[in-house]
């Protein structure tokens, strides 16, 4: 098969969550374990860090990868979903898995694939593990796909587990309360393996503490030790932070080559994770300040980080962000309001959702004084624009429907003045169509 035919085989034959939703979610690890057994258990051939949570896990995974790379470690990075290129999911030192390796993997293992019948995600995880083992990486940063306890990535025994935070998302699969969601996320906490929790929340913290105690896993809450204060920012491309540890100066003028209101919390989570890694026998004092600074400054170049608070156009500014749930959208719109306060700039929003989200809860967070351009992401799960426009109207959000995300963005550009702001937000799959 060619690469294009291989992708078509993967997309057409395997249940794919980002296309069809919950029906593709396998609620056990049987298929992943069977695939790994068939491949010679590649996940046992490299060290790993496991990163879960509701928001920020992708950013934290990329930051940890950058730090490992900057310290001289050959570093694998598995993330999901992808924006434009399937190969974004599987990287070694920032380089995508080759098309030839993807074709070779599927060709050699097709009999096992058709016998085991994994989901698309289960196969991607197995492919990543196989690639990292073949490349002999020193360490792999593995991002959880959905939840944690039953996620396909949860077959690894990492050096460190990280849970960024808990917010409402995928409630139809993970539970409709924060403690229930936290219980699923806590499933990546392993016996004796240290765990970092990014944010202390009164409803989720007891869940994490109980789970960690039950398996004797050392647990640390990053926000109880680290604080990142923004010292300078251009709002769009990079940000400088002052880092406090236990309320004392720790790092000054720390440059992050990415912007966005979420990154202060992510920085604290990453710094706490690195501190714990430096205390493990495997990585004892391996990561120093210079490599941490270099990694944060060069984050996009080292890891091909994208889709988060990313500027893709000027005059007018076109900003896209992957926030797609209550927690992420709340922070994003708070920052947007602060940016536009006192200016004559108008806000134009290109948006769309998937049909298995609690859209009403999210639309309630959108500003009523923006001009809206509604579109359906080009996937089966995309929410149709008639339903979206009607729901939005109930929250005082007014705008027109468009046949595609690209057409919606073109219309926004036509209507916007050079000093206005166009925001593309609502679903990762909407963002993917404009990057």
38 within 8 A of 129, measured Cβ to Cβ: no
What is the band of 284 on the pLDDT scale with cuts at 50, 70, 90?
very high
106 within 8 A of 4, measured Cβ to Cβ: no
Class of the CATH domain delimited by 3-303: alpha beta
User: What DSSP letter does each residue of 132-156 carry, written as one string?
Assistant: HHHTT-SEEEEE-SSSSTT-GGGG-
The residues near 152 (Cβ < 8 Å, ≥ 6 apart) are: 26, 29, 31, 32, 119, 121, 122, 125, 145
Phi/psi at 83 (nearest 5 deg)? -90, -65
In eight-state DSSP terms, residue 376 is -
Averaged pLDDT, 19-31: 69
- Strands, E, within 136-261: which ranges? 139-143, 160-163, 195-197, 219-221, 226-233, 239-245, 248-256
Nearest-10 crossing angle of helices 99-108, 120-134? 110
What digits encode the pLDDT tens for the residues 370-429? 999 999 988 888 999 999 999 999 999 999 999 999 999 999 999 999 999 999 999 888
Q: Report the half-sphere exposure of 207 (CA within 13 A, side-chain side).
A: 22
Q: Which two tokens stand for residue 132?
A: 């990292």
Task: Tell me, yes or no, if the two domains 3-303 and 310-432 fold the same way.
Answer: no
The Cα 347–Cα 339 span in angstroms is 11
Judged against a pLDDT cut of 90, whether residue 14 lies above it is answered with: no
Averaged pLDDT, 175-192: 90
pLDDT for the residue 169: 62
Judged against a pLDDT cut of 60, whether residue 19 lies above it is answered with: no
Averaged pLDDT, 52-61: 94
Judged against a pLDDT cut of 80, whether residue 168 lies above it is answered with: no
Judged against a pLDDT cut of 80, whether residue 237 lies above it is answered with: no
Which one of 3.90.1570.30, 2.60.40.10, 3.40.50.2300, 3.90.190.20 gives the CATH number of domain 310-432?
Answer: 3.90.190.20
What is the band of 167 on the pLDDT scale with cuts at 50, 70, 90?
confident
In eight-state DSSP terms, residue 282 is S
Judged against a pLDDT cut of 70, whether residue 24 lies above it is answered with: no
Q: What is the pTM of this model?
A: 0.92
Domain ranges of the chain: 3-303, 310-432
Report helix, strand or coil for 162: strand
Least-confidence region, from 18-27, 165-174, 360-369: 18-27
pLDDT for the residue 391: 96
The secondary element (H helix, E strand) that includes residue 90 is: strand 90-92
The Cα 274–Cα 268 span in angstroms is 10
Phi/psi at 285 (nearest 5 deg)? 55, 30
Judged against a pLDDT cut of 90, whether residue 366 lies above it is answered with: yes
Where is pLDDT greater, at 356 or 330? 330
What's the mean per-residue pLDDT of the chain? 93
pLDDT for the residue 234: 66
pLDDT for the residue 105: 98
pLDDT for the residue 177: 87
pLDDT for the residue 380: 84
Judged against a pLDDT cut of 70, whether residue 21 lies above it is answered with: no
Question: How large a percentage of the chain has pLDDT more than 90?
Answer: 80
What digits encode the pLDDT tens for the residues 291-318? 999 999 999 999 999 999 999 999 999 9
What is the band of 52 on the pLDDT scale with cuts at 50, 70, 90?
very high
128 within 8 A of 42, measured Cβ to Cβ: no
Judged against a pLDDT cut of 60, whether residue 17 lies above it is answered with: no
What is the band of 344 on the pLDDT scale with cuts at 50, 70, 90?
confident
Judged against a pLDDT cut of 80, whether residue 174 lies above it is answered with: no
Q: Which of 64, 134, 6 is nearest to 295 (CA)?
A: 64
Averaged pLDDT, 189-198: 98
**Which is it for the CA torsion 272, 276, 282, 284, positive or negative?**
positive
Q: Is 232 exposed, middle or buried (0-12, 13-18, 19+ CB in 10 A)?
A: exposed
Question: How large a percentage of the chain has pLDDT more than 70?
Answer: 94
Q: Which of 39, 47, 142 is nearest to 89 (CA)?
A: 142
pLDDT for the residue 374: 98
Averaged pLDDT, 7-14: 85
pLDDT for the residue 36: 98
Phi/psi at 38 (nearest 5 deg)? -60, -35
């Amino acid at each position: 098969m060619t690469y294009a035919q291989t992708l078509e085989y993967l997309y057409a034959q395997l249940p794919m969550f980002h296309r069809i939703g919950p029906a593709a979610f396998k609620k056990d690890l049987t298929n992943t374990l069977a695939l790994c057994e068939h491949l010679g258990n590649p996940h046992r051939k490299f060290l790993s860090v496991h990163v879960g949570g509701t928001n920020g896990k992708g950013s934290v995974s990329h930051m940890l990868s950058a730090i490992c790379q900057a310290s001289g470690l050959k570093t694998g990075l598995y993330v999901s979903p992808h924006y434009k290129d399937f190969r974004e999911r599987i990287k070694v030192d920032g380089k995508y898995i080759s098309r030839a390796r993807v074709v070779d993997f599927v060709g050699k293992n097709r009999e096992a694939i058709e016998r085991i019948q994994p989901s698309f995600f289960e196969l991607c995880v197995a492919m990543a593990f196989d690639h990292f083992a073949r490349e002999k990486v020193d360490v792999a940063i593995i991002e959880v796909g959905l939840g944690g306890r039953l996620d396909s990535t949860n077959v690894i025994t990492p050096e460190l587990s990280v849970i960024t935070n808990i917010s409402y998302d995928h409630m139809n699969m993970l539970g409709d309360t924060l403690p229930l969601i936290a219980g699923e996320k806590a499933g990546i906490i392993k016996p004796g393996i240290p765990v970092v929790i990014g944010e202390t929340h009164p409803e989720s913290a007891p869940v994490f503490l109980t789970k960690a105690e039950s398996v004797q896993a050392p647990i640390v809450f990053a926000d109880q030790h680290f604080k990142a204060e923004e010292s300078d920012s251009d709002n769009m491309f990079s940000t400088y932070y002052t880092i406090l540890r236990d309320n004392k100066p720790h790092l000054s003028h720390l440059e992050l080559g990415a912007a966005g209101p979420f990154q202060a919390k992510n920085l604290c989570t990453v710094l706490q994770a690195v501190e714990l890694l430096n205390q493990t026998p495997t990585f004892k004092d391996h990561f120093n300040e210079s490599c941490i600074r270099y990694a944060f400054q060069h984050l996009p170049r080292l890891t091909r980080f994208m889709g988060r608070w990313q500027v893709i156009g000027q005059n007018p500014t076109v900003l896209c962000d992957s926030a797609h749930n209550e927690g992420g959208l709340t922070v994003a719109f708070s920052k947007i309001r602060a940016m536009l306060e006192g200016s004559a700039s108008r806000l134009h929003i290109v948006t769309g959702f998937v049909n298995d989200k609690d859209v009403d809860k999210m639309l309630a967070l959108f500003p009523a004084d923006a001009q809206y351009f509604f579109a359906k992401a080009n996937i089966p799960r995309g929410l149709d624009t008639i339903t979206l426009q009607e729901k939005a109207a109930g929250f005082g959000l007014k705008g027109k429907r468009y046949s595609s995300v690209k057409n919606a963005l073109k219309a926004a550009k036509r209507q916007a003045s050079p000093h206005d702001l166009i925001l593309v937000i609502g679903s990762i799959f909407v963002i993917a169509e404009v990057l």
